[in-house]
Chains A and B, each alone.
Chain A
Amino acid sequence: MSASTTTLHPAALARRPTGRRNYARQYWLFAMPAAVVVVAVILFPWLFTFVMSVNDWKVSGNVYFVGLGNYEHLFHDPRFLWAVVRTLYFTTAAVVAPMLLGIWAAVCFAENFKLRGAARTIFILPMMATPVAIALVWTMMFHPQLGVLNYLLSLVGLPPSSWVYSSATVIPTLVMVETWQWTPLVMLIVLGGITSLPIDPYEAAVIDGANGWQMFRYITLPLVWPFIVVAAAMRIIDALKAFDTIFVITNGGPGTSSETINMLLYQTAFGYYDLGYASAMVVVFFALILLLSGVLLRMRKWEHGV
């Protein structure tokens, strides 16, 4: 693919129209307007966040420089530390479950069957639907007395669950919603990988007498692995950033038992208007996301080499 773009081989250069080299500089002009916007709405907020994070910055009061005080406070704040623990708990579960289901779904959707298109469209609806709207409907389904979920449990002879109304079950329940919502994205990315596979290794495996599981385990899985890694990195980022559904369904409750970093961040910034402290939290949160999704960035680079 890179051969089709503007690679300048010395031999090819001679054949190219004169002044070819200048184009590279001109192409930058195309990106300029977007670059200005990106600087204004993405880069500027970042720099400003750093500045705020070293100040005691309340929305109404004065601003005092406190150096690393906010950060020091952060690492001694049990509420923040617990939020980190909950976020990691939620993220682990909300990555593993959609990955397993998503890979399974991708293998299924790679086959040809009747109504494949329709089934795939229905399958991806949860990730396209407005998160707030689906969160509202889930909330109604979780109702302890009148909710349809407890009724369905009673139909198969299981005891009712307290879903989001008890601190023991709230995070697993939110993971269930997240899994329902985002398994399709994993499926799509992995399916993209499976459909691009060459057919030769399967031919060879057939001749060697491999069975279906062996072919999945030793051909499909290794070949699709780069796609699986990308999907996993996406899941890690999105699970860490999960906001809409948690905010609408529990708002961090009951008590603080589903208060993830994002929930605490919202409370601190727009509930208590403690912007300096919230900014320090953003910086730490972002570092955590970068750390955990570092796989993704390395992955992308590695792909370019292939």
Chain B
Amino acid sequence: MTVAPQAVRGDQATKPAATRAAAQLRAVNPYRLRRQLNRVGLYASILFLVSPAILFFFWMLSLSLKNELDNTAYPPVFLPHPPTLANFIDVFAKNDFLTYTINSVIVSFTATGLALLLGVPAGYGIAKSKATKAAVLILVARVTPGLSYLIPLFLMFQWLGMLGSLAPLIITHLVITVPIVVWIMIGYFEGLPIELEEAALVDGCNIWQAFRYVAVPLARPGIVVGMILSFIFSWNNFIFGVVLAGRDTRTLPVAVYNVLTFEQISWGPLAAAALVVTAPVLLLTLLMQKEIVAGLTAGGVKGG
């Protein structure tokens, strides 16, 4: 756990000293020198490591922009000419993708919002009272396979007659979002200097005011990290939706899986649907990569 704050701040805080030292060393350090001589090797390695991702997403985009004839051609057509948006129009016209998008938005936003309301104070409380046992419980939640929550919760929702609504989905998504937020916030609050809060307490704040007006504003970057990650992993979740969602309460991942089962052969719309589902997450990753990298480095978090 002590890894977390260092890693979160590592990028900014240690950089000046590290780069200065690195600059001094560059002249004499054969480790660096060898790297410079093997610059070609480094770039080749990077290219080798990154190319599977580039090729994959290029192919995904290519499939979604080509007509059916080009998609089933052999040898495959790589560049769509001319690119067509027909597949995307098809996806929204033939399926009720708008409803599923709204469902996904409601579920992910609510689950993330609730997780912040519950998880930020909890992370603070655990960090301040140094309750490591509570942190272990969070870890157990990380270890447990998603299906093992589903069997009892499925029965419970059935008894309560909740299966037709979005409520079961939101509740089960808390299983993913709350541990992520709590885990990240524990690390973040542990790393904050205690002097400011103590000053607030000496000045007559109560413990809640010290949290609300001192600790929370200081922890805002950590809160952003927790929010982004819990949103992404809630958005991506498939397993809870596939069991609990009814016809009208499907989330996007479940909806896109159903496109597969019904339209096995038409690749264009399938790729377009896949792209629609994952586009918000990819955009968020591109825009907020620094926060995401910090959060993932800190906790190795992943939901479900």
Alpha-carbon gap, A195 to B12, bound state (A): 11
Among B35, B155, B194, B211, which residue has its beta carbon within 8 angstroms of that of A5? Answer: B194
Alpha-carbon gap, A185 to B295, bound state (A): 11
User: Which residues of the partner chain A approach B273 to less than 8 Å between Cβ atoms?
Assistant: 133, 136
CB distance from B282 to the nearest CB of A (A): 6
The reply to whether B153 and A41 form a contact with Cβ atoms under 8 Å apart is yes
Given A31-B134, A196-B7: A241 and B146 interface contact (C-beta under 8 Å):
yes
CB distance from A63 to the nearest CB of B (A): 11
Alpha-carbon gap, A289 to B270, bound state (A): 35
Which candidate, A64-72, A163-171, A298-306, is the interface stretch facing chain B?
Answer: A298-306
Given A28-B129, A120-B293, A125-B53: A141 and B42 interface contact (C-beta under 8 Å):
no
Closest to A234 in B: B300
Which candidate, B95-103, B219-227, B236-244, is the interface stretch facing chain A?
Answer: B236-244
**B151 is an interface residue with CB less than 8 A from chain A:** yes
Give the interface residue-count category, chain B: 35 or more
A-contact bits for B37-74, CB 8 A (1 contact / 0 none) = 00100110110011011101101100100000000101
**A104 is an interface residue with CB less than 8 A from chain B:** yes
Alpha-carbon gap, A206 to B275, bound state (A): 49
**B188 is an interface residue with CB less than 8 A from chain A:** no
The reply to whether B151 and A31 form a contact with Cβ atoms under 8 Å apart is no
The reply to whether B122 and A35 form a contact with Cβ atoms under 8 Å apart is yes
The reply to whether A136 and B274 form a contact with Cβ atoms under 8 Å apart is yes
User: Which residues of the partner chain B approach A266 to less than 8 Å between Cβ atoms?
Assistant: 147
The reply to whether B72 and A146 form a contact with Cβ atoms under 8 Å apart is yes
B-contact bits for A203-246, CB 8 A (1 contact / 0 none) = 10110001110010000000000010011001001101101100
Given A237-B142, A293-B143: A128 and B49 interface contact (C-beta under 8 Å):
no
**A82 is an interface residue with CB less than 8 A from chain B:** no
The reply to whether A1 and B191 form a contact with Cβ atoms under 8 Å apart is yes
**A105 is an interface residue with CB less than 8 A from chain B:** yes
Given A5-B127, A111-B35: A17 and B147 interface contact (C-beta under 8 Å):
no
Given A111-B35, A134-B56, A282-B147: A206 and B131 interface contact (C-beta under 8 Å):
no
Which of B14, B46, B178 has the most CB atoms of chain A within a 10 A radius of its CB? B46
Among B1, B49, B121, which residue has its beta carbon within 8 angstroms of that of A300? Answer: B1
Among B30, B202, B207, B284, which residue has its beta carbon within 8 angstroms of that of A206? Answer: B30
Closest to A36 in B: B118
Given A133-B277, A206-B28, A237-B142: A5 and B285 interface contact (C-beta under 8 Å):
no
Closest to B38 in A: A212
**A96 is an interface residue with CB less than 8 A from chain B:** no
CB distance from A52 to the nearest CB of B (A): 7
User: Which residues of the partner chain A approach B131 to less than 8 Å between Cβ atoms?
Assistant: 28, 31
User: Which residues of the partner chain B approach A146 to less than 8 Å between Cβ atoms?
Assistant: 72, 74, 76
**A88 is an interface residue with CB less than 8 A from chain B:** no
The reply to whether A141 and B118 form a contact with Cβ atoms under 8 Å apart is no
The reply to whether B49 and A123 form a contact with Cβ atoms under 8 Å apart is yes
The reply to whether A243 and B239 form a contact with Cβ atoms under 8 Å apart is yes
**A80 is an interface residue with CB less than 8 A from chain B:** no
**B209 is an interface residue with CB less than 8 A from chain A:** no
**A262 is an interface residue with CB less than 8 A from chain B:** yes
Alpha-carbon gap, A134 to B126, bound state (A): 37
A1-42 residues with Cβ-Cβ distance < 8 A to B are 1-2, 4-6, 16-17, 23-24, 26-35, 37-38, 41-42
**A148 is an interface residue with CB less than 8 A from chain B:** yes
The reply to whether B122 and A185 form a contact with Cβ atoms under 8 Å apart is no
User: Which residues of the partner chain B approach A183 to less than 8 Å between Cβ atoms?
Assistant: 49
Alpha-carbon gap, A303 to B3, bound state (A): 8
The reply to whether A244 and B238 form a contact with Cβ atoms under 8 Å apart is yes
The reply to whether B148 and A49 form a contact with Cβ atoms under 8 Å apart is yes
The reply to whether B14 and A196 form a contact with Cβ atoms under 8 Å apart is yes
**B105 is an interface residue with CB less than 8 A from chain A:** no
**B94 is an interface residue with CB less than 8 A from chain A:** no
The reply to whether B74 and A33 form a contact with Cβ atoms under 8 Å apart is no
Among B21, B129, B207, B300, which residue has its beta carbon within 8 angstroms of that of A230? Answer: B300
A80-130 residues with Cβ-Cβ distance < 8 A to B are 101, 104-105, 108-109, 111, 113, 117, 119-126, 128-130
The reply to whether A104 and B45 form a contact with Cβ atoms under 8 Å apart is yes
Alpha-carbon gap, A211 to B50, bound state (A): 27
Instruction: Identify 8 residue pairs between A and B in the complex whose beta-carbon atoms are under 8 Å apart, listed by A's number.
Output: A2-B130, A5-B128, A101-B49, A104-B49, A109-B46, A133-B277, A137-B59, A286-B145
Those 10 A-B pairs whose CB atoms lie nearest each other, nearest first: A30-B125, A34-B122, A31-B125, A133-B274, A192-B297, A48-B152, A212-B34, A133-B278, A30-B121, A130-B278
